[in-house]
Amino acid sequence: MHVHRTAAEIAADRARYEDHQRRGLEFAPKALPGLSPRPAPEVTPSRVLGREVVPGGWYWTCALAEGEVLRVQAGGLGGSVSLAAWRAGDASERQNLPDTVKVQWTTELRKGRIILSDMGRAMLSITEDSSGALDALTGGSGPVGASTPKERNARDNMVLAAAKLGLDRRDLPALLTLFAPVRVDGEGRFLWRAAMLSGDDWVELRAEMDLVLALSNTRHPLDPSGGPVPPVTVTRLAAVPVQTDDLCRTATAEAVRAFENNARG
């Protein structure tokens, strides 16, 4: 059934949306913290729960308990790490990037932001980030054309990773990609800002619930560079106490609400 809406009703809806957006932006911090230093500082050995080197073109999976931290360190330029996350024990709850950027009023995910699930709960907090180059818009790479040599790509890797976790390709969410400096110009075109990257960039993600993760280390489809994809080092770190004024948990009214949803279970 088609419902005809008057111009006044449409204008009222628009005004409500703009008021909600204004209040959300006013609550948000005027400036997020600066980028994390490079290279990454050494980790206290007692915090290290495991470490893996993921070669270029390959994938890796792991479980991450609530509070644990995943550090991902680039091994050079030319690779990007695509990431998918699911709630442990209930994979029907998974990361939701459209809601993540909509709720936080920005597509520029970086230190101080969170990754939301499709249930409106916080899955991951971005606690460290040396580049600000996290891509929530374009997804990972797909199979290359038949006229070029076949390379391993993020889509194929994620299908394999999902199967390893007992999941299917239909369980795959839109992928977050680390070390991917994608921006959008005034005409809506995607741009690759290579100057944002350094060969020793790193990111730390804190689990805000028990999770299973899949990562794929491949070249981003917008990356114009050639040559081999370098390895990345992934380190799982033990949880440490989180302060009540933790920025990731308090930066926006929506982030506060997401953590309230977490507390409800």
Q: What residues are paired with 235 via a beta bridge?
A: 51, 71
Q: What is the mean pLDDT of residues 183-193?
A: 91
Q: Say yes or no to pLDDT of 203 above 60.
A: yes
Q: Say yes or no to pLDDT of 82 above 80.
A: yes
Return the exposure string of 236-257: e unless at least 16 CB atoms fall within 10 Å of the residue's CB, then b.
bbeeeeeeeebbbbbbbebbee
pLDDT of residue 212: 98
CA distance 210 to 208: 7
pTM over 0.85: yes
- Residues 206-221 have pLDDT tens digits of 999 999 999 999 999 9
The H-or-E segment that residue 215 falls in is strand 211-218
pLDDT of residue 252: 83
- Residues 225-259 have pLDDT tens digits of 888 999 999 999 999 999 988 989 988 888 899 99
Q: Is 210 helix (H, G, I), strand (E, B) or coil?
A: coil
Per-domain residue ranges for the chain?
Answer: 46-264
- Residues 41-72 have pLDDT tens digits of 999 999 999 999 999 999 999 999 999 999 99
Q: What is the mean pLDDT of residues 123-152?
A: 82
Q: Say yes or no to pLDDT of 19 above 80.
A: no
* Residue with tokens 């680039």, as numbered in its chain: 74
204 and 69 Cβ atoms separated by less than 8 Å:
yes
Confidence of residue 22 (pLDDT cuts 50, 70, 90): low
Q: Which residues have C-beta within 8 Å of that of residue 98, sequence separation ≥ 6?
A: 174
Q: Say yes or no to pLDDT of 141 above 90.
A: no
pLDDT of residue 45: 95
Q: Say yes or no to pLDDT of 29 above 70.
A: no
Confidence of residue 32 (pLDDT cuts 50, 70, 90): confident
Query: Which burial class, exposed, middle or buried, applies to 18 when counting CB atoms under 10 A from its CB (0-12, 13-18, 19+)?
Result: exposed
Q: 31: which 2 tokens?
A: 């400036």
Confidence of residue 105 (pLDDT cuts 50, 70, 90): confident
pLDDT of residue 186: 86
